[in-house]
Amino acid sequence: MARRALKLASWTSVALAASGICLYSNKYLDPSDFGAVRVGRAVATTAVISYDYLTSLKSVPYGSEEYLQLRSKIHDLFLSFDDTPLGAASLAQVHKAVLRDGRTVAVKVQHPKVQAQSSKDILLMEVLVLAVKQLFPEFEFMWLVDEAKKNLPLELDFLNEGRNAEKVAQMLKHFDFLKVPRIYWELSTKRVLLMEFVDGGQVNDRHYMERNKIDVNEISRHLGRMYSEMIFVNGFVHCDPHPGNVLVRKQPDTGKVEIVLLDHGLYQALTEEFRLDYCRLWQSLIWTDMQGVRKYGQRLGAGDLYPLFACMLTARSWDAVNRGIGQTPVTATEDSEIRNHAANYLPQISQLLNRVPRQMLLIFKTNDLLRGIEAALGTRASASSFLNMSRCCIKALAAHKKQKTRSLFRRARISLRESFSLWKINLHELVLHVKGLRLTGWVRALLCWLLPASH
């Protein structure tokens, strides 16, 4: 309890220190400075996920009561059982074992006192957040406590984690590069989860990929496709893609590169209204439709802070958003602006995070974790990655329109328009490849005519 209190106190001190250097004298925000928000976005996202200290990887003693109870039955269930855990966290630890029938499995065991302790931890978090609010009324972080109360019980139910794993495996079965370990239900409970053992290197380990001749750009593209499909098409999003939960490997039999997705305890289910508005917002951002950025940013709760919202989503400056995030590379000047001005907008970031739908909070977290992986691999978002996002948006919006009509003729028209839009994106991607990702004026003019934003 003391160790967890120390972690929460540390987070609170960061929030207090950051807020202490904010300049809140200006009532009106200068959109040209919105590039400064990336560091502020990272700080705010840290607040959004501060309760993740319960699940972050770190070394903990593994001689727990439940571990010892399980150890006494090991000879009945397993041919072998590794004493040293593969990974340990505050909620659970994972061991490698071999069943009597020869199957190699990963055994995830929940620590025995987590269930009882979690309510105390959330109470402590609530007290600290209220203390921050008393000292700095402009900072609204009570939604953080609400999110912890909602999500933590789900993460403590390992059967729920198993169901999520099977759901996402079925949902993305058309991706032959994705591997979700199989769950062994006959040996699983709410506090012990047995699954297929799958080895690999962490997704941010460039040296592992170099040794195994795995293309980091291919991995980055696969991650983008996978998460675009989750968010825009299915509205069911794995919200904890830190490197320990995303492995890469070459398939033992075929040598084909695979992404292994682990730890399915935390998912965000998006409502249809939110998912479609989010699709339209990203379409507007990708194709530089600033009216659409304003419209759908406001529909998602940003209000007059929609420029800040756009910058937080894209991790780009407001100037870059206006010029086109797919056509404007990240520069050292832009990064410098972000570092130098971020703290000025922390009160507005707090206000924005209090406004947007709760679904957006875990999306922010997921975006930040994915960008962290991109940064580690040196694969910043390219025009091609934005086009993959646009493909998913087009598919999602077309599917929604088809559901809303019973007319076969209208459905055929929607399908034709969808196919034509996807063909135009393929053409655009080909042009980018030929031109070395440098757009000429006539190509950009052609794209503006061919690809109006879908509203």
Active site positions, annotated: 240
What sign results for the dihedral spanned by CA atoms 289, 290, 291, 295? positive
Report phi then psi at 303, rounded to 5.
60, -135
| CA distances to 103, 225, 249 from 108, in Å | 16, 29, 21
Question: Which residue from 405, 415, 308, 328 is spatially nearest to 44, judged by alpha carbons?
Answer: 308
DSSP E strands: which ranges in 337-435?
none
Angstrom distance (rounded) from CA 117 to CA 125: 12
- What HEC string does 148-194 produce? HHHHHHHHCCHHHHHHHHHHHHHHCCCCCCEECCCECHHHCCCCEEE
SS3 261: strand
With residues binned 3-state (H G I as helix, E B as strand, rest as coil), the percentages for the chain, rounded to 5, are 60, 10, 30
Report phi then psi at 160, rounded to 5.
-65, -40
Contact indicator for 185, 236 with CB cutoff of 8 Å: no
Report which residue type is found at 115: Q
Question: Pairing state of beta strands 257-261 and 236-238?
Answer: unpaired
Instruction: Look up residue 7 and give its two tokens.
Output: 């972690």
Could you tell me which residues are beta bridge partners of residue 202?
Answer: 247
Burial per residue of 175-197, b for 16 or more beta-carbon CB atoms within 10 angstroms, e otherwise: eebbbbbbbbeeebeebbbbbeb
